[in-house]
Amino acid sequence: MRNPDIVNEILDFIPKIDYSKTNQLVSLFETTIRYLAGMLSGYDLLNGPAKDLVDHSKIEILKEQSVNLANVLKFAFDTPSGVPHNDVNITSHANDGSKTNGLAVTGTLILEWTRLSDLTGDEQYAKLAEKAQSYLLHPEPSWAQPFPGLVGSNIDINTGEFADAAVSWNGGDDSFYEYLIKMYVYDPKRYGLNKDRWIAAAESSMKHLASHPSTRPDLTFLSTYNNGTFGLNSQHLTCFDGGNFLLAGSVLDREDFSDFGLKLVKACHDTYIETATKIGPESFSWDAKSVPDSQKELFKRAGFYITSGSYILRPEVIESFYYAWRITGEEIYREWIWDAFVAINKNCRTDSGFSGLTDVNAADGGSRIDNQESFLFAEVMKYCYLAFSD
């Protein structure tokens, strides 16, 4: 929004943060995608299109603090395989004792840690993330990849081998697939394998995971798969998938990916417009065998029923609307962004910020969840602003 007062206030505060002190366990994944990514993005933005906003001498603190934070966190990778622990104590260098780490947690560190290496010239950060990622790009044992490119959900921290073959694009797995194609966009020469693995996963998903509700065969969602069984369930988190397919379709000049992405975007849009608040639920299903009596009308009309009705200010649906608008240029997708923004502003806004909702299918959103996630501003408001800033 090009407000130099706010930017300078942030830059004045960041040097005061001591990332080495906390009295609770820290998530390597969440700290990377929120704190490290935020500082690195700010650094690139203020050295690029927003370089006129502040005194250039103040920008370096973003890189310096990124290095400080990475140095605090990097002990998490000190395991027999190089697959990191996620929940760690940065004071004692202990961890929560987990034997496995998740697919998304392990595979969503590569962009930020590589960018830090590229900015500093210190390869150690990229090498740590690449080592962990290598087990995901070359999955073992073979049964952990039931379809080409689609792998299990948990990795043994000691060996780097997969502990299961449960496949999904849902939370816990989602951003591994998201980052595959984004790493190729970041550097096609270095990350060509990531592109190949994304293509394999996407083609397998279109062939095996694409699913259509019996009451709304016009809708397309991605199912899950585990040990021969397809799960007819999805999440708000999963709705990044339409935008991810659209990004890949644009970059790779693959119309089939773009067309499939738009189908996913359309289905996620329906999860918004069919609820009382016009906001989509945390999770939903289209398994006709398990529809609650209280939601049979919703399932008949909308093609899904709600399994968790909360909304915690998530961005994924608006994110995919944004990709659809930018890539197709069709105004309908920007209208969908506006409608979602209006619904969030109406139902979630408070005197001091925004709160989550307990039930998106209640007229008043149920009760309020007294928490405002950072991704409200980092993603929800970002996509809404960018859609209407031109």
Distances (CA, A) of 74 to 70, 80, 99, 209: 6, 14, 18, 36
Tell me if 180 sits within 8 A of 193, measured CB to CB: no
Q: Which structure tokens are listed for 354?
A: 């925004």
Tell me if 263 sits within 8 A of 216, measured CB to CB: no
Give me the catalytic one of 12, 18, 30, 123: 30
Taking the CB of residue 350, how many other CB atoms lie within 10 A of it? 10
Q: Residue 60 catalytic?
A: no
Which DSSP string corresponds to 198-251? HHHHHHHIIIIIEE--TT-TT--EE-EEETTEEE-EEETGGGGHHHHHHHHHHH
Question: Where would I find the H helices in the chain?
Answer: 4-13, 28-31, 37-46, 60-73, 103-107, 110-120, 124-137, 174-186, 192-204, 241-252, 255-273, 296-302, 316-328, 331-348, 375, 382-388
Give me the catalytic one of 112, 274, 282, 287: 282
Q: Residue 30 catalytic?
A: yes
The span from the CA of 8 to the CA of 55, in Å, is: 9
Cα 22 to chain centroid distance, Å, stands at 25
Which DSSP string corresponds to 90-136? TTTTEE---SEEEHHHHHSSHHHHHHHHHHHS-THHHHHHHHHHHHH
Q: Residue 316 catalytic?
A: yes
Give me the catalytic one of 174, 203, 287, 379: 174
The span from the CA of 173 to the CA of 234, in Å, is: 12
Q: Residue 118 catalytic?
A: no
Give me the catalytic one of 112, 274, 287, 316: 316
Residues annotated as part of the active site:
30, 174, 282, 316
